[in-house]
Amino acid sequence: MTVISKEFLKDGKSFVTKTEDTIATVVRTSTGAALTQTEIELAGDYYNSDLDEIDYAKIYNLKFGTNYLGKLGASDEWMAKALTDKTYKDIFKKATGKNSSNISSEEPETTNIYATIADNNKDANGKSTVNRGGSILRYPKNDVSGDYDYLKVCAYEYKPRNFGEGGIGLTGDYGEPEDRGLTKKKGSHTVFLPMEPQGLAEGNSVEWGDNRLNALTAAFADAAGAGIEGAKDSAGKAIKQFMEASGDAANNIKKALGEDDGKIAAYFAGEAVGNKGVFKRATGQVMNPNLELLFNGPALRQFAYNFRFTPREQDEAQEVRKIIKFFKKAMAPIKSDTEMFLKSPHVFKLKYYYKNGQQHPFLNKIKTCALTSFQVQYAPDGSYMTYDDGSMISYTVSMGFGELNPIYSKDIDEDSNDMGY
């Protein structure tokens, strides 16, 4: 039986504990203090969208001795504070009903906070809980989602369309991950990157092409169209309308070519042998092509980014390495279990964020993309230089993304408060 405590506030965040037997879960609720976008992103799969809450940490030792708390969806900063601030332990004891005189008040060792956290990231079976819900990478290593604008890149498993009734499932817009039920990439799934000026651009195009329709072709098309139109009612009416239209077509052809039998003969002779030049040679004329530019279809947008990573410390160098490997792995095709087929690589959602954590109001939106190209230059300054641990002093990364679907008129709301797609 799970016992849920009363909601309590700590450092501006609201929580409850859910206790079952000798284990309790510290749950971050949204009813007392709203969840932030950063908390939700950090939590990964530990965020419950239906309840709008996050499993923050697990209390494995209700005697609250050393190493009693394990990380779930909480941030490292919150864990460090929860493990070193005695008031957290006291409030957890009270919430779980374990606040009595025979409870050990032994404090966790704090000589090395992050080493302590690493030791605590294990469940009751001794298995690691780190990154179980996925992880988030950042450059620069400090939290770029605070007072700065940034680009957020999320990787999702590609979801095939499958067959639908009448083939409907194979067509249409791929849509938003939220609408399609896409699953985030296992392991590292999200990267926060600084704004890259050259990449802050968009361009769209549509395809138009020349089309020709001379009077003869138009006449034959009229005849065919009339027959098809009549077929909706009955076969007899279709035949009647086709015959009438054919007579009109013959008159139109005769009118177009005139009464000159030589022109008529030259035209049909050229059609018979498949050489339209016969008519030109015989008459010194060409049929008026009625040239017109007609719409052929939309095009897909492309986005290019060039980032320069210059690690300032060892942790940041490791973060850069993780970011590079994240993109390399996510864009690579996936072998099936039998290795007979190759599954599609991951797809990506790119979104520009304003410093308040919302969609940037003056930069374009981007539909779901594929990563089509990825290049890394390990010595962009023309010389080989490394730090003591072997990490490069600078990297340049070039990426090309292509949207999976075109932009349609309905995608752009002229009355909205954003830039639209």
What is the DSSP code string of 332-381? S-EE-TTSSSEE---EEEEEEE-TTSSB-TTS-----EEEEEEEEES-TT
pLDDT band at 167 (very low <50, low <70, confident <90, very high): very low
- Residue 179, pLDDT score: 53
More confident residue, 330 or 222: 330
Mean pLDDT, rounded, for 116-126? 41
**Exposed/middle/buried for 125, CB within 10 Å: 0-12, 13-18, 19+?**
exposed
- Residue 16, pLDDT score: 94
- Residue 101, pLDDT score: 40
- Residue 408, pLDDT score: 93
More confident residue, 81 or 216: 81
In a 13 Å sphere around the CA of 94, the CA atoms on its Cβ side amount to: 11
323 within 8 A of 309, measured Cβ to Cβ: yes
- Residue 246, pLDDT score: 55
In this predicted structure, the answer to whether residue 48 has a pLDDT above a threshold of 50 is: yes
The predicted model scores a pTM of 0.63
pLDDT band at 339 (very low <50, low <70, confident <90, very high): confident
Mean pLDDT, rounded, for 220-238? 62
Mean pLDDT, rounded, for 243-256? 59
- Distances, alpha carbon 338 to alpha carbons 330, 342, 421, in Å: 20, 10, 40
Mean pLDDT, rounded, for 69-90? 87
- What percent of the chain is modeled with pLDDT above 90? 40
In this predicted structure, the answer to whether residue 275 has a pLDDT above a threshold of 90 is: no
Q: Alpha-carbon distance 64 to 108, whole Å? A: 9
- Residue 146, pLDDT score: 56
Strands 334-335 and 342-343: antiparallel
- For 97-109, what is each residue's pLDDT tens digit? 876 443 333 333 3
Q: Dihedral of CA 404/195/34/134: which sign?
A: positive
Q: Alpha-carbon distance 11 to 178, whole Å? A: 31
More confident residue, 209 or 230: 209
- Residue 341, pLDDT score: 94
- Residue 123, pLDDT score: 45
- Residue 110, pLDDT score: 30
More confident residue, 252 or 117: 252
- For 54-71, what is each residue's pLDDT tens digit? 999 999 878 787 778 888
- What percent of the chain is modeled with pLDDT above 70? 75
- Residue 239, pLDDT score: 55
Q: Alpha-carbon distance 19 to 44, whole Å? A: 22
More confident residue, 179 or 131: 179
Mean pLDDT score of the chain: 80
Neighbours of 359 (CB within 10 A): 14
- Residue 420, pLDDT score: 92
Out of 93-102, 142-151, 224-233, pick the least confident: 224-233
CA angle 181, 45, 113 (to 5 degrees): 160
156 within 8 A of 345, measured Cβ to Cβ: no
Residues counted in the chain: 421
Largest CA distance in the chain: 117
Neighbours of 360 (CB within 10 A): 20
- Residue 365, pLDDT score: 94
Closest by CA position to 97, among listed 3, 2, 1: 3
- Residue 230, pLDDT score: 55
- For 190-209, what is each residue's pLDDT tens digit? 999 999 998 999 999 999 99
Out of 87-101, 120-134, 178-192, 365-379, pick the least confident: 120-134
